[in-house]
Structure 1
């Protein structure tokens, strides 16, 4: 029987006989009675096993080490007045596998930095059990949300010719020792994808509503708490819809995911609230119950200018139209000015990607970023440029290879009326939901500069 079923089940009876296979978290032996704390991974909560000297292998059990795997057969003892509502009175314990003495996760507190060095073992700790259970539930919630909204799930290529963001931060895929790409596997330069958006747009024109959810890669040499070389992106694309539809969809999706985590990860959220971010649960409830704010980039610049005039101590105090807002500016807007999640819209085209719809003012594009308290930007989206000539001209202006994007640009010539979408970095969302402060702690095996340990 699984520990989750025992602790959460409604039909568990006193003196019910059970068999559990689990890992030893701690062992507190005595002369006549001992106490094992075990966990099989199905529940964040542990189960206590009481073993007595009448067991034939009592001495062996008394010496069983942390992380050993045991099989316990015994009877349930309901303990409704205690913190844990039941325990097992052992009638037989079999040591299935004995862990070695140098197991690094003994019963003491370990730093997150130390645990990052043993990513193959850290998922056995309560911290990472909590984080990765929440990650699992959130991933399923994303699929459930879009499926219930009648979106088609599209898998886009991992290997591609295109840098969708135009930033040149892509990993090269090659079988050669030089850069003679015409002799390479694909006969041309190939990269790991930085976004599935361009391919997603093609399928949105066929199915109207699609979403992608998969790994993306950035060769951005940023050794920070928010950047990773490999991460997952959620990228829906909706044909025939504008930026306003996009904004409403983002808010609806974020709230759906948070509510799903509330419903299915109460123990894990309580642990994260206690150990990773005090007030986490209240923060998430506030997000779930708030109507997100909305402000144009132009108006946001004016708010920031006034803040500087009133003594706000930004590191970057030179506020002007065209400034690529820093995290400090974003957090001020959503944390101090509005005190809620905030959409900024209509950014200057010079600081946004080539594919974004140019507004009639000639200066801005129909783009939006969602800013959330505690982190800043969480989601970026836009309405796409639907005019072929404007799109090609923008590519040429930014010195982007038009030939490599010919298939994407020509979508505009074959019946293309509006398209909108957004990108949400999954790991950044998990950081926000769990209170984890480093992206390395929300990816099972993180890939960052100079780090390829596993």
Structure 2
């Protein structure tokens, strides 16, 4: 019995040893045969438990250095003693030296019949020299690569026999290698490194001078000109991962709370915000004929103002030539040059007049347009969401919205992504509660799920970002009516003389941020606005002056959510449409929701790009949007 117990114990020990020697499985990336760096570097041990395993990894080179090796000695010289080797190297005759150094001496040797022998010696000597010169210098290239899956980079060692160092060392080079995970030979920030055994792919940088990221630490505003390259930078990559986490958190919140996801149209006939800054969608704008396009080929890219300035300069030059009695040839050349410039100015003026005529939409017959009516890029999707809320309950949408603003702002661009929600049987308080919970949820999510990216942002961008997000998550939002907000701002006039404001005017970005940053130092909800400053569909309060609308304002960013309880009373809504001079025909379908089975409902719009600003501490919204579209700028 004791023997059996000992045997069982021995078997168990053996089994445990076998289990301990089993190497952990390293999963490949889905739909590729490589391992993403996050799988290795985000482990608790930093990948140390994976040492010895062979994997395939790929990424882009951030930095590189070359470590040269001593040239290996030949086997013959290794076996022979050094003194003897030196003696053999010195065993060269005077004639060999002379013929090698003095070509004329070789000629004399050939005349006396010793040319063949000496020629042979010369060939042997030359062959030895060439062999020593052509022997490649061996080196190891140490690469720091990243694949965008995490902040950290991975160290990869590539021998010069596998790939030319001059190709793989350039920043931005894409490389895919198969190699073994090992501990670094020297201590440093890297816990593991990859010793490459094969180079499977190499995407070289063709011209380092033209590659914009060859310069280190480019400011964010300079990177906007290369939106297709900037995600390779550490900062923009980190912003993108945080943006992804915020997107996931947004969908997660609505899915957990029983909302249905609805896609609203990008092209619409309705002016949901009563906003005049809309993008028209039309096919009626006339295109230049073949003849006219040829006429203006030579002037493309030239402004009328610059041509007029040149015309003025050339006229002054011609007058000067006439006054100084210059030679006839110079005078004729100046006259001819002035004539061509006048022609160019006339062409540009005609082109400008034609473009202005084409831009007047009131001259267009929209019955012949693509949709047989005026169409716009949508400013808001809340009106369309209402139709689904009135049938399905709680719904939300997430997509781009467009405003043709011609002002330059750090908070708004022409195309911004919005999160919009509508809730049936919901009033103002419920809409404010849902918006508050959503904002707290996504801020908490990014703190919990993006620790490494937040550490980077904390170190490199904004040292107050984490406390600010924690304030949003944990604090009670200050709720004040619009009339109180006006009184608070008036009291602040002594400290902030440019905050002059009266009841009935909209709050500016400066007003909103001052209240959140300086007065309350936490998120603020302002509600019950004057009806003149809010869209037509917002429900009127019993006082007849204000409407059931609200804004949520956060420190450093401003208003990130704007919402309301919407007007369910048909007569009140129809009257409001008439008061604002809106086309009742465009909103017949919207009024139908009040005619047939109306319901109290409310909702809000969250400006998603401003939430990314809040989570990253970046100061300009153009730096957190993958491909920003702003007035006068459309680079990609």
TM-score greater than 0.5 by the shorter chain: yes
> How far apart are 1:171 and its partner, in Å?
0.6
Aligned match of 1:46 in 153, 158, 164? Answer: 153
> How far apart are 1:107 and its partner, in Å?
5.3
1:89 paired with 2:195, answer yes
Counterpart CA distance in 2 for 1:314 and 1:15 is 68
SS at match of 1:155: coil
| Contact in 1 for aligned 2:553/2:561 (Cα 8 Å) | yes
1:161 paired with 2:269, answer yes
Counterpart CA distance in 1 for 2:167 and 2:590 is 67
1:343 paired with 2:541, answer no
**Structure 2 unaligned blocks of 5 or more:** 1-34, 70-139, 286-357, 359-363
Mean Cα displacement is larger for which, 184-193 or 19-28? 19-28
1:312 paired with 2:418, answer no
Counterpart CA distance in 1 for 2:465 and 2:496 is 26
Counterpart CA distance in 2 for 1:59 and 1:97 is 13
Counterpart CA distance in 2 for 1:86 and 1:281 is 30
> How far apart are 1:322 and its partner, in Å?
0.8
Specify whether residues 29 and 107 from structure 1 end up closer, same or farther in structure 2 by C-alpha distance, changes over 3 A only. farther
Aligned match of 1:128 in 230, 236, 245? Answer: 236
1:73 paired with 2:178, answer yes
SS at match of 1:157: coil
Counterpart CA distance in 2 for 1:448 and 1:275 is 26
> How far apart are 1:263 and its partner, in Å?
2.3
- Within a 5 Å distance, the mapping from 1:257-272 to structure 2 comes to 257-272=442-457
1:8 paired with 2:115, answer no
| Contact in 1 for aligned 2:151/2:238 (Cα 8 Å) | yes
SS at match of 1:360: coil
> How far apart are 1:63 and its partner, in Å?
5.5
SS at match of 1:303: helix
Aligned match of 2:603 in 396, 407, 421? Answer: 421
The residue that corresponds to 1:98 in the other structure is 204
Between Structure 1 and Structure 2, which shows a larger proportion of strand residues?
A: 1
Mean Cα displacement is larger for which, 75-84 or 143-152? 75-84
SS at match of 2:156: strand
The residue that corresponds to 1:286 in the other structure is 471
The residue that corresponds to 2:631 in the other structure is 449
> How far apart are 1:57 and its partner, in Å?
3.2
Mean Cα displacement is larger for which, 267-276 or 376-385? 267-276
Counterpart CA distance in 2 for 1:307 and 1:198 is 38
Mean Cα displacement is larger for which, 119-128 or 266-275? 266-275
The number of equivalent residue pairs is 449
> How far apart are 1:227 and its partner, in Å?
1.5
SS at match of 2:68: coil
Larger gyration radius, structure 1 or structure 2: 2
Counterpart CA distance in 2 for 1:365 and 1:62 is 65
Counterpart CA distance in 2 for 1:44 and 1:129 is 8
Counterpart CA distance in 1 for 2:188 and 2:565 is 56
- Within a 5 Å distance, the mapping from 1:352-371 to structure 2 comes to 352-371=534-553
> How far apart are 1:59 and its partner, in Å?
4.6
Counterpart CA distance in 1 for 2:276 and 2:451 is 42
Mean Cα displacement is larger for which, 170-179 or 211-220? 170-179
| Contact in 2 for aligned 1:192/1:216 (Cα 8 Å) | yes
Counterpart CA distance in 2 for 1:222 and 1:77 is 55
Give TM-score scaled by structure 2 length.
0.68
The residue that corresponds to 1:401 in the other structure is 583
1:47-90 per-residue CA deviation (whole Å, 9 max, x = no partner) reads: 111345xx523653675321112122222234697433322233
Give TM-score scaled by structure 1 length.
0.95
What is the CA RMSD across the aligned residues, in angstroms? 1.8
